[in-house]
Structure 1
Amino acid sequence: MLYRHGDVLVQRVPALPAAHPRPGATLARGEVTGHSHRFRDPAGVQLYTAGAETYVQVTAPSADLIHEEHATITLPQGTYRVWMQREYSPEAIRRVLD
Protein backbone atom coordinates (compact mmCIF):
# COMPACT_ATOMS: atom_id res chain seq x y z
CA MET A 1 0.00 0.00 0.00
CA LEU A 2 1.40 3.40 -1.01
CA TYR A 3 0.08 6.78 0.17
CA ARG A 4 0.98 10.21 -1.19
CA HIS A 5 0.64 13.29 1.00
CA GLY A 6 1.88 16.16 -1.15
CA ASP A 7 5.62 15.59 -1.59
CA VAL A 8 5.73 12.89 1.13
CA LEU A 9 5.34 9.23 0.12
CA VAL A 10 4.40 6.59 2.70
CA GLN A 11 4.58 2.85 1.99
CA ARG A 12 3.46 0.05 4.29
CA VAL A 13 6.28 -2.42 4.97
CA PRO A 14 6.16 -5.83 6.65
CA ALA A 15 8.64 -5.00 9.42
CA LEU A 16 10.81 -2.27 10.91
CA PRO A 17 14.51 -2.73 10.05
CA ALA A 18 17.23 -2.11 12.62
CA ALA A 19 16.48 1.54 13.42
CA HIS A 20 16.79 4.23 16.08
CA PRO A 21 13.79 6.05 17.59
CA ARG A 22 13.41 9.65 16.49
CA PRO A 23 11.57 12.22 18.63
CA GLY A 24 8.44 14.01 17.54
CA ALA A 25 5.62 13.32 15.10
CA THR A 26 6.63 15.55 12.16
CA LEU A 27 7.69 13.79 8.97
CA ALA A 28 8.73 16.88 6.99
CA ARG A 29 8.66 20.67 7.13
CA GLY A 30 8.04 22.78 4.05
CA GLU A 31 11.06 24.86 3.07
CA VAL A 32 8.90 27.37 1.19
CA THR A 33 5.70 27.56 3.27
CA GLY A 34 6.85 26.45 6.72
CA HIS A 35 3.91 24.03 6.84
CA SER A 36 4.56 20.52 8.08
CA HIS A 37 3.48 16.96 7.38
CA ARG A 38 2.74 15.68 10.89
CA PHE A 39 0.57 13.31 12.84
CA ARG A 40 -2.39 14.84 14.64
CA ASP A 41 -1.86 12.72 17.78
CA PRO A 42 1.85 12.17 18.53
CA ALA A 43 0.98 9.56 21.18
CA GLY A 44 -0.23 7.17 18.46
CA VAL A 45 3.00 7.02 16.43
CA GLN A 46 6.74 6.46 16.82
CA LEU A 47 9.23 7.73 14.22
CA TYR A 48 12.51 5.93 13.48
CA THR A 49 15.62 6.44 11.37
CA ALA A 50 17.67 3.71 9.76
CA GLY A 51 20.61 5.34 8.00
CA ALA A 52 19.04 7.90 5.65
CA GLU A 53 15.64 6.17 5.77
CA THR A 54 12.68 7.28 7.89
CA TYR A 55 10.05 4.91 9.26
CA VAL A 56 6.91 5.33 11.32
CA GLN A 57 5.09 2.80 13.43
CA VAL A 58 1.44 3.55 13.96
CA THR A 59 0.82 2.08 17.41
CA ALA A 60 -2.76 3.35 17.77
CA PRO A 61 -5.58 1.71 15.78
CA SER A 62 -5.03 4.52 13.23
CA ALA A 63 -3.21 7.85 12.88
CA ASP A 64 -4.13 10.97 10.92
CA LEU A 65 -1.36 12.53 8.81
CA ILE A 66 -2.16 16.24 8.45
CA HIS A 67 -0.90 19.29 6.53
CA GLU A 68 -2.35 22.75 5.94
CA GLU A 69 -2.59 22.29 2.16
CA HIS A 70 -3.43 18.58 1.77
CA ALA A 71 -6.33 16.35 2.69
CA THR A 72 -5.84 14.30 5.86
CA ILE A 73 -4.70 10.71 5.32
CA THR A 74 -5.60 8.09 7.92
CA LEU A 75 -3.00 5.33 8.24
CA PRO A 76 -4.07 2.06 9.85
CA GLN A 77 -1.93 0.50 12.58
CA GLY A 78 1.32 -0.85 11.13
CA THR A 79 4.84 0.01 9.98
CA TYR A 80 5.61 2.40 7.12
CA ARG A 81 8.63 3.68 5.20
CA VAL A 82 8.56 7.43 4.50
CA TRP A 83 10.45 9.39 1.86
CA MET A 84 10.30 12.68 0.01
CA GLN A 85 9.31 12.79 -3.63
CA ARG A 86 12.09 13.69 -6.07
CA GLU A 87 11.94 15.42 -9.42
CA TYR A 88 14.26 15.21 -12.40
CA SER A 89 15.77 18.09 -14.31
CA PRO A 90 18.73 17.94 -16.67
CA GLU A 91 20.85 19.66 -14.02
CA ALA A 92 20.08 17.30 -11.14
CA ILE A 93 17.62 15.05 -9.37
CA ARG A 94 16.27 17.10 -6.48
CA ARG A 95 13.73 16.95 -3.70
CA VAL A 96 10.35 18.48 -4.42
CA LEU A 97 9.93 21.63 -2.30
CA ASP A 98 6.67 22.12 -0.43
Structure 2
Amino acid sequence: MMTEIFAQGDLLIERVPDVAPSGTVEENAEGAPVVLAEGEETGHRHAICERVTMFRDDRLARDIPAGLYIGHVQVSSAYARVTHDEHAPLTLPRGTYRVRRQRELGPRDARVLAD
Protein backbone atom coordinates (compact mmCIF):
# COMPACT_ATOMS: atom_id res chain seq x y z
CA MET A 1 0.00 0.00 0.00
CA MET A 2 1.32 3.41 -0.91
CA THR A 3 1.58 5.90 1.92
CA GLU A 4 -0.75 8.85 1.46
CA ILE A 5 1.00 12.11 2.25
CA PHE A 6 -0.62 15.52 2.15
CA ALA A 7 1.38 18.74 2.29
CA GLN A 8 0.26 22.26 3.16
CA GLY A 9 2.97 24.87 3.44
CA ASP A 10 5.53 23.51 5.89
CA LEU A 11 3.20 20.79 7.21
CA LEU A 12 3.38 17.17 6.13
CA ILE A 13 0.34 15.06 6.99
CA GLU A 14 0.83 11.33 6.59
CA ARG A 15 -1.95 8.77 6.71
CA VAL A 16 -1.09 6.05 9.24
CA PRO A 17 -2.91 2.93 10.49
CA ASP A 18 -5.63 3.69 13.04
CA VAL A 19 -4.44 3.59 16.65
CA ALA A 20 -6.18 4.40 19.90
CA PRO A 21 -5.39 7.99 20.94
CA SER A 22 -2.64 8.05 23.56
CA GLY A 23 -0.33 10.55 25.24
CA THR A 24 -1.81 14.06 25.38
CA VAL A 25 -5.32 13.97 23.92
CA GLU A 26 -7.36 17.02 22.86
CA GLU A 27 -10.85 17.04 21.36
CA ASN A 28 -12.58 20.07 19.91
CA ALA A 29 -16.24 20.99 19.85
CA GLU A 30 -17.80 21.29 16.39
CA GLY A 31 -16.73 24.63 14.90
CA ALA A 32 -13.96 25.27 17.46
CA PRO A 33 -10.67 25.10 15.57
CA VAL A 34 -7.89 22.70 16.45
CA VAL A 35 -4.67 24.49 15.51
CA LEU A 36 -2.05 22.13 14.09
CA ALA A 37 0.62 24.78 13.71
CA GLU A 38 0.98 28.54 13.67
CA GLY A 39 3.32 30.50 11.43
CA GLU A 40 6.07 32.08 13.48
CA GLU A 41 6.38 35.17 11.30
CA THR A 42 2.93 35.50 9.77
CA GLY A 43 0.72 34.30 12.61
CA HIS A 44 -1.31 32.35 10.04
CA ARG A 45 -2.37 28.97 11.28
CA HIS A 46 -3.13 25.53 9.96
CA ALA A 47 -6.47 24.68 11.60
CA ILE A 48 -9.30 22.13 11.43
CA CYS A 49 -12.83 23.25 12.32
CA GLU A 50 -14.56 19.88 11.91
CA ARG A 51 -14.64 17.68 14.97
CA VAL A 52 -11.42 15.68 15.33
CA THR A 53 -9.28 14.13 18.04
CA MET A 54 -5.72 15.39 18.22
CA PHE A 55 -3.16 13.54 20.28
CA ARG A 56 0.55 13.59 20.78
CA ASP A 57 2.55 10.52 21.72
CA ASP A 58 6.27 10.68 21.06
CA ARG A 59 6.47 6.88 20.98
CA LEU A 60 4.54 6.99 17.71
CA ALA A 61 7.09 9.34 16.16
CA ARG A 62 10.48 7.82 16.96
CA ASP A 63 11.46 7.97 13.28
CA ILE A 64 10.85 11.72 13.03
CA PRO A 65 13.65 14.16 13.97
CA ALA A 66 13.06 15.81 17.35
CA GLY A 67 11.16 19.04 17.11
CA LEU A 68 9.38 18.23 13.85
CA TYR A 69 6.61 15.97 15.23
CA ILE A 70 3.43 17.91 15.96
CA GLY A 71 0.95 15.16 16.74
CA HIS A 72 -1.68 12.81 15.36
CA VAL A 73 -5.14 13.74 14.14
CA GLN A 74 -8.00 11.27 14.06
CA VAL A 75 -10.85 12.11 11.70
CA SER A 76 -13.96 10.12 12.64
CA SER A 77 -16.46 11.97 10.44
CA ALA A 78 -16.43 11.60 6.63
CA TYR A 79 -13.70 14.22 6.29
CA ALA A 80 -11.97 17.17 7.93
CA ARG A 81 -10.53 20.22 6.21
CA VAL A 82 -7.20 21.78 7.11
CA THR A 83 -7.37 25.49 6.34
CA HIS A 84 -4.67 28.15 6.10
CA ASP A 85 -4.80 31.77 4.93
CA GLU A 86 -2.10 31.31 2.29
CA HIS A 87 -2.73 27.76 1.07
CA ALA A 88 -5.59 25.89 -0.55
CA PRO A 89 -7.64 23.89 1.97
CA LEU A 90 -6.71 20.27 2.37
CA THR A 91 -9.44 17.63 2.75
CA LEU A 92 -8.53 14.62 4.87
CA PRO A 93 -10.83 11.59 4.54
CA ARG A 94 -11.82 9.60 7.65
CA GLY A 95 -8.72 8.04 9.23
CA THR A 96 -5.66 8.72 11.37
CA TYR A 97 -2.87 11.06 10.34
CA ARG A 98 0.55 11.94 11.68
CA VAL A 99 1.37 15.63 11.43
CA ARG A 100 4.90 16.97 11.23
CA ARG A 101 6.72 20.03 10.05
CA GLN A 102 8.92 19.78 7.02
CA ARG A 103 11.47 22.48 7.23
CA GLU A 104 14.09 23.58 4.83
CA LEU A 105 17.53 22.94 6.18
CA GLY A 106 19.72 25.99 6.42
CA PRO A 107 23.54 26.00 6.37
CA ARG A 108 23.62 25.71 10.17
CA ASP A 109 21.79 22.38 9.90
CA ALA A 110 24.43 20.84 7.66
CA ARG A 111 26.30 18.12 9.48
CA VAL A 112 29.52 16.43 8.59
CA LEU A 113 29.05 12.71 9.05
CA ALA A 114 32.11 10.84 10.22
CA ASP A 115 32.40 7.07 9.87
TM-score bracket for this pair, using the shorter chain length: 0.7 to 0.9
Provide the residue aligned with 2:92 in structure 1: 75
1:6 is aligned to 2:9? yes
The 2-side partners of 1:87 and 1:76 are apart by 28
List alignment gaps of at least 5 residues for structure 2: 29-33, 59-66, 111-115
C-alpha displacement of 1:23? 5.2
The 2-side partners of 1:60 and 1:86 are apart by 30
Report if aligned partners of 1:16, 1:55 keep a CA contact under 8 Å in 2.
no
Count matched residues: 91
C-alpha displacement of 1:37? 0.1
C-alpha displacement of 1:30? 0.7
Report if aligned partners of 2:52, 2:75 keep a CA contact under 8 Å in 1.
yes
RMSD (Å) for aligned C-alpha atoms: 1.8
TM-score normalised according to structure 2 size: 0.71
Q: Percent identity?
A: 38
The 2-side partners of 1:39 and 1:89 are apart by 30
The 2-side partners of 1:33 and 1:90 are apart by 23
Provide the residue aligned with 1:37 in structure 2: 46
List alignment gaps of at least 5 residues for structure 1: 94-98
The 2-side partners of 1:30 and 1:23 are apart by 22
The 1-side partners of 2:18 and 2:27 are apart by 20
Q: Secondary structure at the match of 1:86?
A: coil
Q: Secondary structure at the match of 1:91?
A: helix
Runs of 4+ with >6 A deviation: none
Deviation by residue 1:45-71 (Cα, 9 ceiling, x = unmatched)? 110001274100001110011000000
Report if aligned partners of 1:55, 1:79 keep a CA contact under 8 Å in 2.
yes
Report if aligned partners of 1:26, 1:37 keep a CA contact under 8 Å in 2.
yes
